Chain A
């Protein structure tokens, strides 16, 4: 009997001390902040399927499944890569340029808060950032549509996530990253996500060559999908930008406001520019403008006020339109769905304008040229140029090396038949019921 009592009391003690331990590590965690970042993570997750439909509507109907397949594959692939390797390389303490392997497989992370926020569990920060790591390489799918081998796509994506995304993410967002130490402002991924994906996409477009039998523009088979995808992207972007505050606070509210405002301004300015230069306002143009606005406001969303966001949105569309409609035709690179033209250029516009319009009244961490700190523009310029150089050259190296072992491009015959049938043995739309 005594033995039994002893055993029971020990059990109770163990149990309560266990509870106490969990209470200790979660003491500072704030339920409001945690709830918002949980929701934001789910919002950002939805952007990649949204992107699948945004892109899917813009390809010929013999290739839509290949786009959906690649986007969803990216979710699966990078989700695993991220928790095993990507997060550790990106965010753990290492050197200025790359993280260490301390958090390999999320070892040593635990249930408490982490170094990037006291008020949310470290694990949800891992997940939130994981969604960014997924959508960044997924953005590049738009440049190599209708002609890349699926096997090459998988291997390239894994190499890119390891050797391009992780280092750039570390430079900009890790505690000890060199661009972070320099004071470069990138609230939600203008450099890490959009410039990185955009200039890598340009490199791929050049290396892979043009699609056969088509113009350099998109060849949409179902623009209703594209507009549906735009809606999902716009919706998810609230998590992308406002979630990057990592808290349910005024900074998140400001990011939410300027995100929506910039997207609206850019949609309007694209319609105007297109009306003047192409003759008619188009749904595809409006959707493209909205996305360009969302791209440009991404680095700025935690720093600029609402007037700054209207100016950023209004400026980005004419610049992207010019790149897509004129510059692309001069140099003849088949950046098929304008990943470079919208995300690369939009990201550069956003990152540089952040250095001008960052208002210390919104966030004391950022003071732009207009508020008496011209040096910030120079820092932004350094971050933009270094990310462009690294991702462009790095992508060329990865692509060329991988291409030594396996083929990157489908045969001309496969391209003519379409990737849905030749790569996946499926058809999206059947002729007979």
Chain B
């Protein structure tokens, strides 16, 4: 089992969802995050004063999958979120120790799908 975390551009979310659904990946969590990459965001100016809060809005996806779903999920995110410009984001893949469905108490493989 793996936990896939992806940081993507907010406006690419709908695209990524479409690609995920087409590959049968139907469970995901989405959160709004702020941050920046190597280009260090955009400076904000208020009445001529430069603000240090140069954070850009991003979307963070968390998807827990069984091993055979890792490749389709990564493909879907690459396909859906890539514009080729700076700021498209990153994908992180982490090993997942356990997964428990709260409603039934199922664990492991069954609980993920």
**Which residues of A does B touch, CB under 8 Å?**
58, 215-220, 274, 277-280, 282, 284-285, 288, 321, 324-326, 329, 338
Contacts and interface: CB of A to CB of B under 8 A. Distances in A.
B92 interface: no
A321 B48 contact: yes
B40 interface: no
Contact of B49 (A279, A280, A288, A325): A325
Contacts of B46: 58, 217-220, 282, 284
Closest 4 CB pairs of A and B: A217-B49, A325-B48, A217-B46, A215-B49
B94 interface: no
A277 B51 contact: no
Contacts of B48: 217, 274, 277-278, 321, 324-326
Provide the main secondary structure of the chain B interface. Answer: strand
B49 A216 contact: yes
A143 B45 CA distance: 19
Interface of B: 45-52
Contacts of B47: 217-218, 284-285, 288, 321, 324-325, 338
Contacts, number: 39
Contacts of A277: 48
Contacts of A324: 47-48
B43 to A, nearest CB: 9
A412 B51 CA distance: 21
**Which interface residue of B46, B50, B51, B52 has the most chain A CB atoms within 10 A?**
B46
23 contacts: A58-B46, A215-B51, A215-B52, A216-B49, A217-B46, A217-B47, A217-B48, A217-B49, A218-B46, A218-B47, A218-B49, A219-B46, A219-B51, A277-B48, A280-B45, A284-B46, A284-B47, A321-B47, A321-B48, A325-B48, A325-B49, A326-B48, A338-B47
**Which interface residue of B46, B47, B50 has the most chain A CB atoms within 10 A?**
B47
Nearest to A218: B46
A57 to B, nearest CB: 11
Nearest to A320: B47
A288 B49 CA distance: 14
B79 to A, nearest CB: 34
A58 B46 CA distance: 9
Contacts of B45: 278-280, 282
B50 to A, nearest CB: 7
A15 B47 CA distance: 64
A329 to B, nearest CB: 8
Contacts of A58: 46
Contacts of B51: 215, 217, 219
Contacts of A329: 49
A282 B45 CA distance: 8
B104 to A, nearest CB: 26
Contacts of A280: 45
A107 B52 CA distance: 56
A218 B51 CA distance: 9
Nearest to B53: A219
A216 B45 CA distance: 12
**Which interface residue of A58, A217, A218, A282 has the most chain B CB atoms within 10 A?**
A217
B68 to A, nearest CB: 37
A219 B50 CA distance: 10
A334 to B, nearest CB: 11
Nearest to A321: B48
Nearest to A217: B49
Contacts of A326: 48
Given A217-B47, A218-B46, A324-B47, 17 more contacts: A58-B46, A215-B49, A215-B50, A215-B51, A217-B46, A218-B47, A219-B46, A219-B51, A220-B46, A278-B45, A282-B45, A282-B46, A325-B47, A325-B49, A326-B48, A329-B49, A338-B47
